[in-house]
Every structure is written in C-alpha cells, then in structure tokens.
Amino acid sequence: MRPLFFVAFASSIVQAQPFNWDVFTYSVPVGWQRYVQGGSVELREIDGPRFCQIGLIKAAPGSGDAQQDFYKDWATLVAKPYRAPSRQPSPGQDIGNWRALVATAKVMLPPTGNFDVTMNTYSAPSQVATVLLLGNHVGCSPHFREFLANLRLANGPGNVSLPPAANQPPRTMGTLDGQADIRSANIEDWRVEIQAEGVRFTRGNIIAFQFYNVSLDDRLRSGDTGLNFWNLIVPRSYRVLSQTPLEEESFSYSKNYAVTGQVADNAGRRYAAFLSTEIANGIGTPFLSLAPDEGSLRNVFPNAESLRSMRRFNYFPVSRAELAGRWTSSFSSAAETYYVSTGNFAGLAVASANVDFNFSANGTYTQDVQAVTGRIGNLNVGRERRQGTFEVEGNTLILRRSNGEVEVFNCGLLALRGGKALSIVNRKYTTDRWDLLRAK
C-alpha cells in the first residue's frame, strides 16, 4: 500500500544540489527542510501559520492507463485523507515517457485550516509516480513551478541521497500519520535505522551502532571487560584483523571501556573500528563506529564521548498510530532520616509517583497521576486525572486539556530491546518529563 502524505506545518526559489530518490531526481529549495520516511519524501517551508509542502510518493506499479492511475491515487492520497471532492484531471507537463495529469482541490482540515492540494501523477507503461503540492498562501506557487520545472524521472528505482546537515534538533523531523511502526528516519544528516541488535547510524562512509543494553555476567567481568565486549559484538559481523584495548576515564557512577582495531566485512572491505562500552549499575551499553580509515573515523569521533553521544539520535518521530495505547512510568525512593540534634532515628522518608497516559485512536487522551510522599505512618497520597484531545506530528505532542489548558511537549520514540520507549518533555516546564513504556 502506498503511504498517505500527511500535512505538516512546515524561502527562496534558488535550488540546492539535486537529490536522487526512487525514480525522482529533484532539487530542494534553499531554506526548506527535507525528510525521508519509508515510501515518501517531504519538503517543507514553514513561516508561522503559512506553509508550503511538497511530497514525493514512491513509484508503484501502474495500470498502463494514465487516467486510471490518476483516479486511483486521487482517491487514496487526496480524497480520503483531506476529504477532497473528486476531480477531472488536466494534462500536465510530461517528463520523458512519463505522461502527466494534474488536478487541484481546496480543502479544510482542522487544525491546519484552509489550503490547496495539487496532485501530479506521472504514468509510464508499467509505473506511476506521484507528487503532492500543499500550501495555504500564494507565495507557494513560484516554488512549486520551479520545483516541477527541474523535476526529472527515470525508469527504475534509484537510491536515497542523504540530506545535508541542517543543524536542527531532532524535534523538527517529519512523519506520516497512520504509519504504525516507524523503523527509520533522517535526523540532522544521519540516516537512523532500528535493527535487530540495536540502532544503526549512517552518514556517507561512516557507520555507527548503538547496541541494546547487555547485563554483565561473570564471563564479561573476568579479565579485560572492554575486550570481552569487543569479542562478544564485533566478530558477529566482521573479521577481526587487529585489536588494542584503550584506557578511558571512569567516574564513580559509571566505567567506560574502549577498544580500537581493524576489521573486514564479508566482501573483504577493510575498516578502522572503535568500540566504546559504557557500564553503569551492572549494565553495559556498547557503541561501535566504522570508517574506511583511522583519519576519517577520528574526524567524526575524536573520542569515546563523541561516539556515545550518538544516543541522542535514537529519537524517532511519533505517529498517531504508534502512539495509540497506554503508556506508563513510575519511580520510587526511600531514605532513612535522623534528628540532627539527637541523632535519633526520625523515620523512613519515601516518595513515589506513577503516571499513565492512554492515547485513543480518535484523538482523545487521559492522564492519570498518583503520588505518595512523606514518612511511614504519615504519608500524603495524591491522585489526579486529566483528559482532553491530542495532536502528534513528528516530534511534537500537543495536549489540549478539557479545562482549556494547552501543553506542548517534545516527544520521541527510543528503540530498545523488544520495543520502544516514549520520551516526552514539556517545552515550557522542562522538569515535567517522562520516559514511558507501553503497558502490556
């Protein structure tokens, strides 16, 4: 099934360098954001409430009839998600042997408001490729014309080109509403993918991995722990040519181990490799980086800390479909207290809290909070339920409470073994933050 393109609030007509993706060769207007998500590419420009957006939809098998291809895509990509009426297409600007048909509809979709949707289908004998143009002001038109004038199509799929570094925080990513399990995303200039043993980060010829946590056992503790982790992880996928343990700075709450070496893959390609394992509370988190040579590797990862900082890119966009359900988090602590004047025992002080979010597919939510504080025998128990509606897109979660209060959160899904955790941080009150797990 071809993906639906979801409106998002996203200047200069000058075009940047061309990108190749699927059958498309295209240029991104300077100042626009570019996101690759599975079966589509999104290009966006946002200026307050004004937005322009271009969507490239991955080519699919065609019927051989251009009008039939158009009507099928209009129903799936425009009529259903945007509640647009049916349209009779007009001839567009053909590209090579691709026949173009185009139509426009004015739509209104809360909370976005009024905007225009234009769909261009390009039909070849056995394929159909689609471009969606969305905007709510006349300033979009010259960008759209320039983009289409420079668009090229080829027969057969191409490769995804990584976007240039945008120096934007992860919360600016895009997503497709309705996508139930987002497994990859472009974050800044890294391609991030969830794999069976961890998260892979790729930029050009640089590769890095954050592996899922490993519990320390006697086998990993005995001898050189850093080499033990190297021997546990690296030989699974690479032939080890050399290895050298390194000393790393350690702290009272954690200890770090590093190993550098040379490895080769099954095709005989050689890489400089660097593994850093962070250990805290009996849990090891290994990070591995690979590059064609030591200089390239150190240019990106000059030390172990820079490699371990890649964990910040394990922060995937959130779709409504994946958010739907119950998420929970809790913590508790206890401390013995004593009177300063006498030294006598003053009691056991405890604090605990539990929060449950339940997000429904219809856009409503409930939030239940329970907290217990005080000393044993004199505890204060508090409970509160909040409810309302929510919107989620990319890395932004908006909660509209039934009392009229609006809360905006940065949100992201963190890959971990067996699933994902949901991280939310209130943009106004950053101490209001939760890391939640999906309730069973």
User: Over 90: is that where the pLDDT of 291 sits?
Assistant: yes
* Euclidean distance between the first and the last CA atom of the chain, given in angstroms as a whole number: 29
Q: What is the pLDDT of residue 202?
A: 94
Longest dimension (CA), the chain: 91
pLDDT at 156: 40
Give dist(CA 13, CA 29) in Å, integer: 6
* C-alpha to C-alpha distance for 229 and 227, rounded to whole angstroms: 5
Q: Which residues contact residue 89 at a Cβ distance below 8 angstroms, ignoring those fewer than 6 apart?
A: 67, 70, 74, 101, 102, 103, 121
CA distance linking residue 183 with residue 187, whole number of Å: 13
pLDDT of residue 176: 38
Give the per-residue pLDDT at 251.
45
Confidence of residue 159 (pLDDT cuts 50, 70, 90): very low
**Among the listed ranges 43-52, 92-101, 155-164, which one has the minimum average pLDDT value?**
155-164
**Closest by CA position to 276, among listed 311, 242, 252, 240:** 311
Nearest to 374 by CA among 331, 337, 340: 337
Domain ranges in the chain with CATH number 2.40.128.300: 320-438
Q: What is the tally of helices (H) and strands (E) in the chain? A: 8, 27
Q: What is the pLDDT of residue 292?
A: 92
Percent of the chain with pLDDT over 70: 80
- Give pLDDT tens digits for 133-149: 999 988 898 889 889 98
Q: How far is CA 285 from CA 203, 275, 310, 413, in A?
A: 22, 10, 12, 18
Question: Which comes out higher in pLDDT, residue 275 or 7?
Answer: 275
Region of 408 (left: φ > 0; alpha: ψ -120 to 50; beta: rest) is beta
For the stretch 230-259, what's the b/e string if a residue is b when 16 or more beta carbons lie within 10 angstroms of its beta carbon?
bbbbbeeebeeeebebeebeeeeeebbbbb
CA-CA distance, 162 to 158, in Å (whole number)? 13
Going from the C-alpha of 384 to that of each of 154, 232, 324, 354, 387, the distances in angstroms are 58, 47, 21, 11, 10
**CA-closest candidate to residue 293, choices 265, 258, 262, 268:** 262
User: What's the pTM?
Assistant: 0.55
What average pLDDT is seen over the chain? 81
List the beta strands (DSSP E) in 315-377. 325-338, 345-359, 364-375
CATH 3.40.1000.10 in the chain: give the residue spans: 15-161, 184-312
> Pick the residue with more confidence: 248 or 411?
411
3-state SS, residue 68: helix
CA neighbours closer than 13 Å in the CB half-sphere of residue 194: 18
| Distances in whole angstroms, Cα of residue 116 to Cα of each of 6, 138, 270 | 13, 10, 52
| Residue 349: per-residue pLDDT | 66
CATH number of 15-161: 3.40.1000.10
From 49-63, 153-167, 317-331, the region with the lowest mean pLDDT: 153-167
Sheet of 113-123, strands arranged across: 33-37, 40-47, 50-61, 127-135, 113-123, 99-109, 90-91
3-state class (DSSP) for residue 31: coil
Q: Across residues 4-23, what is the average pLDDT?
A: 52
- 241's tokens: 């040519």
User: How is domain 320-438 classified at the architecture level of CATH?
Assistant: Beta Barrel (2.40)
% the chain with pLDDT above 90? 32
Note if the bond before 111 is cis, omega within 30 degrees: yes
- Write out the two tokens for 28: 């991104």
Flag whether pLDDT at 266 surpasses 70.
yes
The first and second tokens of residue 301, run together, are: 């990862």
CA 420 – CA 437 distance, rounded (Å): 7
pLDDT higher than threshold 80 for residue 310: yes
Where do runs of H (alpha helix) occur along 234-366?
A: 294-300, 304-308, 320-323
Q: How do residues 58-109 score in pLDDT, each as one tens digit?
A: 888 888 888 999 999 999 899 888 888 888 899 888 888 889 999 999 988 7
pLDDT higher than 70, residue 164: no
> Which residue, 419, 354, 346, 347, is CA-closest to 381?
354
pLDDT at 58: 87
Residue 21, CA distances (Å) to 35, 145, 401 in order: 12, 20, 41
Whether 336 shows a pLDDT value over 50: the answer reads yes
User: How does pLDDT run across 227-252, given as a tens digit for each residue?
Assistant: 999 999 999 889 999 998 886 654 44
Among 106-115, 183-192, 199-208, the range of highest mean pLDDT: 199-208
Per-residue model confidence (pLDDT) at position 247: 67
pLDDT computed for residue 352 by the predictor: 67
Task: Taking residues 304-316, report their average pLDDT.
Answer: 89
The stretch 405-417 carries a mean pLDDT of: 91
The residue type of 397 is: L
Query: Top-level CATH class of 184-312?
Result: alpha beta
Q: How far is CA 208 from CA 2, 69, 276, 313, 409, in A?
A: 30, 41, 11, 11, 29
**So what's the pLDDT on residue 335?**
61
- Output the pLDDT for position 46: 84
- Give the pLDDT band of residue 337 (cuts 50, 70, 90): low
How does pLDDT run across 201-237, given as a tens digit for each residue?
999 999 999 999 998 888 888 888 889 999 999 998 8
Give the tens place of pLDDT for each residue, 374-396.
666 666 666 889 999 999 988 89
More confidently predicted of 6 and 233: 233
Q: How many CA atoms lie within 13 A of 191 on its CB side?
A: 14
Question: In this predicted structure, what is the pLDDT of residue 343?
Answer: 65
pLDDT band with cut points at 50, 70 and 90 for residue 350: low
